[in-house]
Amino acid sequence: MDIYREISATLRDLATATPAIVLTGARQTGKTTALRMAFPEHGYVTLDLPSLAERAERDPEGFLGDHPTPLIVDEVQYAPGLFRHVKAAIDRDRRGYGRFALTGSQKFTLMRDVADSLAGRCVWLELEGFSLAEMRQTGLGAGLAREEFPAEVLLRGGFPELWVNPRLRPTDFFASYVATYLERDVRQLLNVSSLRDFERFIRACAHRNGQMLDRSSLARDVGITGKTADAWLGVLVASNQVFLLEPWFANVGKRLVKSPKLYFADPGLCAWLLGVTRATLNGSPYVGALWEAAVYAEIRKTIAYHRLPASVWYYRDDRQLEVDFLLTAGGRGLALEAKSTEHPDARDARGLRTFLTHAASRAVAELALEARGVVVARPAGRFPIGGDGPPVEAIDLERLPPMLRAFFDAGEAVVGADDRA
């Protein structure tokens, strides 16, 4: 089943203005399929095959001669010597736009090679798993009622295979995924003496999903040094398994909290690592953090795929006032709270209202009176939340992407507007 990826329009648009596109992301997020669907006229070769990777590394000129442009090269990090020859091919015709589309699953390795050879000659994009709109294109997603959808998002996550193949059990997929990830990515990026220790580290990170990162505590719980914990966390970030969300600050000298919050890229993988099942989901102590991870994932995808001019932070001050997600752009702000409840009320909006009042009273230039507050929950519809203070609205997760696009792209606040999902 061919699923239209939201990033496709951006890929095709950029291919008219740059010689090369580099698309990275975690394994199994559909990078190859997305590129082949966006550029059906391109040739295709994958360096996942050791023989082809060796040929590309040892004889890059001959390799490119055998595979003329326009060309998609999959898992290009396995032949770092190829980058210099791609650069030379681009420099022979700098107006030959869209000739190369390169993919890779190891972001830090790619960043180094791209910086060395392709700086100024390519654009860099990241692809994550299915967005909510993409999930809805599948037979499984299309058949789910709005109230059923959130649980599937938390348990399946966004990996395409789990949506296009509904007979595949998430437990089987994730067990295989983690085993493959440990063997292929971790062994190549780190000299880990025990992969079992690294798997324990991943699970310890899952228990901290949605929390402020305490590296010392993480290292102590796994029985490793702080230096090792930093290195291993870097691998999880490099392979797009986790994201670190930084705290908001008006300027670097006035940062209120310094520690980032840790989020798994995929809530389904995190749920599996935590042992959360369909039977235990609603009563699980982790359901709130999993919901936060799902909301953050949709924020990232919407901003990236639609190139919205917004930055994402979390807010926490010395009075312990916290807002899950703060999006800012052009002197406007959108404050979001993620609540897994189906019936959000004034108690769920209390922190947002305090924050909005606090921000206005301090006249923070990036927020001022342009800030809006929204609770992203699991309600049936969208509605204003009662209570005193600034207005706050409740919406469900599927209404979040169109709301973000309207707020930041059109420059038009949609709190209280008609449903456009």
Q: How confident is the model at residue 165 (pLDDT cuts 50, 70, 90)?
A: very high
What's the pLDDT score for residue 118?
86
- Residues 145-159 pLDDT 10s: 988 999 999 999 999
Answer yes or no: is pLDDT of 60 > 70.
yes
pLDDT value at position 367? Answer: 52
Quote the longest CA-to-CA distance of the chain. Answer: 71
Mean predicted confidence (pLDDT) in 65-75: 96
Q: In whole angstroms, give the CA distance from residue 147 to residue 383.
A: 16
Which DSSP category does 120 fall into?
T
Q: Given the structure tokens 């030379």, which residue do they identify?
A: 88
Residue 60: cis peptide before it, omega within 30 degrees of 0: no
**Per-residue pLDDT, 331:** 73
Answer whether 217's CB lies under 8 Å from 234's CB.
Answer: no
Q: Report whether 199 contacts 277 (CB < 8 A).
A: no
In this structure, are residues 22 and 125 in contact, taking their beta carbons and an 8 Å threshold?
yes
Cα distance between the two ends of the chain? 24
Structure tokens, 35:
């590129």
Q: Does residue 411 surpass a pLDDT of 50?
A: no
The label of the residue with tokens 């969208």 reads: 382
- Indicate whether 161 pLDDT > 90: yes
What Cα–Cα distance (Å) separates residue 276 from each residue in 61, 170, 203?
Answer: 50, 11, 12
Alpha-helical runs (H) found in 100-225: 107-117, 132-137, 139-142, 149-156, 160-164, 170-181, 187-189, 195-207, 215-222
The pLDDT of residue 410 = 54
Structure tokens at 344: 């959000």
Are 91 and 119 within 8 A, CB to CB? Answer: no
The answer on pLDDT for 295 being more than 50 is: yes
pLDDT at 413: 38
Q: Give the number of other CB atoms < 10 A from CB of residue 109.
A: 20
Do the beta carbons of residue 24 and residue 127 sit within 8 Å? Answer: yes
Helices marked H in 253-377 — which ranges? 267-273, 287-305, 346-362
Q: What is the phi/psi pair of residue 344, to 5°? A: -65, 140
Q: What is the pLDDT of residue 417?
A: 34
**Considering only 5-19, 62-76, 322-336, which range has the smallest mean pLDDT?**
322-336
What would the two tokens of residue 235 be? Answer: 């691998």
Burial class (CB in 10 A: 0-12, 13-18, 19+), 139: exposed
Q: Which residue has the tokens 């696009």?
A: 405
The reported pLDDT for the residue numbered 191 is 67
pLDDT band at 35 (very low <50, low <70, confident <90, very high): very high
Give the residue-averaged pLDDT of 276-293: 97
Give the pLDDT mean for 352-376.
74
* pLDDT score at 255: 47
Q: What is the pLDDT of residue 238?
A: 85
pLDDT tens for each residue of 367-390: 554 678 999 999 878 899 999 989
Predicted pLDDT of residue 266: 98
Q: Quote the pTM value.
A: 0.91
* Residue 348: predicted pLDDT: 95
**Lowest model confidence (mean pLDDT) among 61-70, 159-168, 240-249:** 240-249
Q: What mean pLDDT comes out for the span 175-199?
A: 81
Buried b (16+ CB within 10 A) or exposed e, 312-350: bbbbbeeeeebbbbbbbbeebbbbbbbbbbeebeeebbe
At 214-233, the pLDDT tens digits run: 999 999 999 999 999 999 99
Compute the average pLDDT of residues 324-351: 92
Determine the Cα–Cα distance for residues 196 and 380; give it in Å rounded to an integer: 43
Query: What is the chain's Cα-based Rg?
Result: 22
At residue 5, the pLDDT reads 95
When the pLDDT of each residue in the chain is averaged and rounded to a whole number, the result is 89
In which band, very low, low, confident or very high, does the pLDDT at 212 lie, cut at 50, 70 and 90? very high
In angstroms, rounded to a whole number, what is the distance separating the alpha carbons of residues 66 and 61? 9
**Position with higher pLDDT, 382 vs 43:** 43
* Angle, CA of 308, 10 and 372, to the nearest 5°: 15
**334 touches 309 (CB < 8 A):** no
* 159-185: average pLDDT: 92
User: 355-379 burial string, b = 16+ CB within 10 Å, else e?
Assistant: bbeebeeeebebbeeebbbbbbbbb
Query: 193 is written with which tokens?
Result: 């003496």
What is the average pLDDT across 341-352? 94
Structure letter (DSSP) for residue 399: G
Spatial separation of the C-alpha atoms in residues 274 and 34, rounded to whole Å: 30
Cα–Cα distance for residue pair 6/300, rounded to 1 Å: 13
Task: Give all domains of the chain, ordered by start, each with its CATH number.
Answer: 8-126 (3.40.50.300), 134-236+265-284 (no CATH), 293-409 (3.40.1350)
What per-residue confidence (pLDDT) applies to 254? Answer: 52
Of 207, 191, 376, 182, the C-alpha closest to 296 is 376
pLDDT average, residue stretch 12-20: 95
Which has the closest alpha carbon to 348: 321, 377, 320? 377
